[in-house]
Amino acid sequence: MAGLKQSPTEPEFVQNPYPFYASARAAGHVHLWDDYAMPAVFTHEAVSALLKDKRFGREIPTEMRQASPAHLTDFYGVEDHSMLELEAPRHTRLRSLVLRAFTSRRIKGLAPEIERLSHHLIDEMPLGGCDLLPAYCAMVPVIVIARLLGVPEGMATQLLLWSNAMVGMYQAGRTHDDEVAANTAAREFSLFMRDYIADRRATPADDLISELIAAEENGQRLTVDEMITTCILLLNAGHEATVHTLGNGVKALIENNVPVSALQGDAVQNTVEEILRYDPPLHVFTRYAYEDISLFGHDFRRGDQVALMLASANRDPAAWTDPDRFDPTRPIKTNSSFGGGIHFCIGAPLARLEMQIALRVLFERRPRLALAGTPEYADVYHFHGLEALNVTY
């Protein structure tokens, strides 16, 4: 099979990867992506199938495991306990414990708080215009997840710094300095969470950390290291993707002259799903093959790492009519932005709620919101988000 060549850091690709995805889809379900030295799956049908196929998973096969480099010991010490990187039975136990605390009732109960926070952040914006990413898009999700966990929201700036450093490990073209920064952030983040968990053990509160501690003390085998990693995962994932989605969504709404009515009432659900489909925050999610298997015209071998092209699947014309058009009235159909199968994003309901409220409040409060210049995407692939979102209002 001939390979595809496309640098993920090439400027034209960073700004618009969708033509590359389209040409790959048109040529077949699966291709070798030479720049990553792995097979990549591009169609909606194939991505959806592999997300749910238990013959593929996140955990590296035992015979392929290697010792972590010395300068990344702390980072991989956190990753070793992450349910995002595990399969059954450890994944099942961790996810069930988190879901016990991360209930739909608790999430829905956050709606008034998200509304008040959105208004407060808008009240704090400078007159005339600002960069919405740090002023609004980043602050809504990080403060909400901090409050949910029970971490002081005054730590929001530090949490963002730690998180940004850690997720740099997943970006194409990372350097040794990036790795050192990620390791330092993981160590400092872990120490902070260890102390905070100890405080919550002594003085429980109505928050997710206290719920996880209670679950451990009720006979569940949740270690302190697993709690630390789970809290870090929820903080990192709980804001990183939502920041990009809010920014990409505001850009799409303004560029397509979408009326504020599309963000009100029942219509907002369709609009948010279209934002998620049209320009998602995460474009690639990888799996390992756990056995030799032939699927979609490709022979996978045990140990092969496979790139599931989530954003490509979302633009597949076999699944959506005129998929390159942003249409907030499009009927809702399951997209790939939150993954699928046992690793379907546990924070999806919270992310949707944050987007529905934060976008509605923003456009109601700033009806003349306009772009100041042309926003550019940051060189952060596998993620896909803007460098800045300068606006006037």
pLDDT tens sequence across 270-328: 999 999 999 999 999 999 999 999 999 999 999 999 999 999 999 999 999 999 999 99
Interstrand relation of 3-4 and 30-33 (parallel, antiparallel or unpaired): parallel
DSSP 246-270: HHHHHHHHHHTT--GGGGSTTHHHH
CA nearest to 350, candidates 93, 127, 128, 103: 103
Average pLDDT for residues 64-91, to the nearest whole number? 94
Average pLDDT for residues 122-134, to the nearest whole number? 97
pLDDT attached to residue 223? 87
Q: 3-state DSSP call for residue 131?
A: strand
Q: What is the chain's percent helix, strand, coil content, to nearest 5?
A: 55, 10, 35
pLDDT attached to residue 69? 95
CB contact at 8 A, 60 and 71: no
Q: How many domains does the chain have?
A: 1
Helix axes 267-278, 224-255, angle to 10 degrees: 100
- Per residue in 202-229, pLDDT (tens digit) is 999 999 899 888 876 556 667 889 999 9
Phi and psi angles of residue 377, each rounded to the nearest 5 degrees, phi first = -80, 145
Q: For residue 2, is pLDDT > 70? A: no
Average pLDDT for residues 83-100, to the nearest whole number? 90
CA nearest to 21, candidates 232, 327, 316, 257: 316
Phi and psi angles of residue 20, each rounded to the nearest 5 degrees, phi first = -60, -45
The residue ranking higher by pLDDT, 50 or 100, is: 50
Check which CATH number belongs to the domain holding 182 and give it.
1.10.630.10
Residue type, 135: A
Phi and psi angles of residue 162, each rounded to the nearest 5 degrees, phi first = -60, -45
Q: For residue 338, is pLDDT > 60? A: yes
Distance separating alpha carbons of residues 275 and 270, to the nearest angstrom: 9
Confidence of residue 153 (pLDDT cuts 50, 70, 90): confident
pLDDT attached to residue 99? 87
Distance separating alpha carbons of residues 161 and 150, to the nearest angstrom: 19
DSSP 211-256: HHHHHHHTT----HHHHHHHHHHHHHHHHHHHHHHHHHHHHHHHHT
Q: What range defines the domain where residue 167 resides?
A: 3-392
Looking at the chain, the whole-number percentage of residues with pLDDT higher than 70 is: 98
pLDDT attached to residue 177? 97
pLDDT attached to residue 387? 97
Mean pLDDT score of the chain: 94
Residue 239: which residues within 8 A CB-CB, separation 6 or more?
Answer: 138, 141, 142, 145, 159, 160, 163
pLDDT attached to residue 348? 94
Q: What is the pTM of this model?
A: 0.95
Q: For residue 16, is pLDDT > 70? A: yes
Residue 370: which residues within 8 A CB-CB, separation 6 or more?
Answer: 254, 391, 392, 393
Confidence of residue 371 (pLDDT cuts 50, 70, 90): very high
Confidence of residue 237 (pLDDT cuts 50, 70, 90): confident
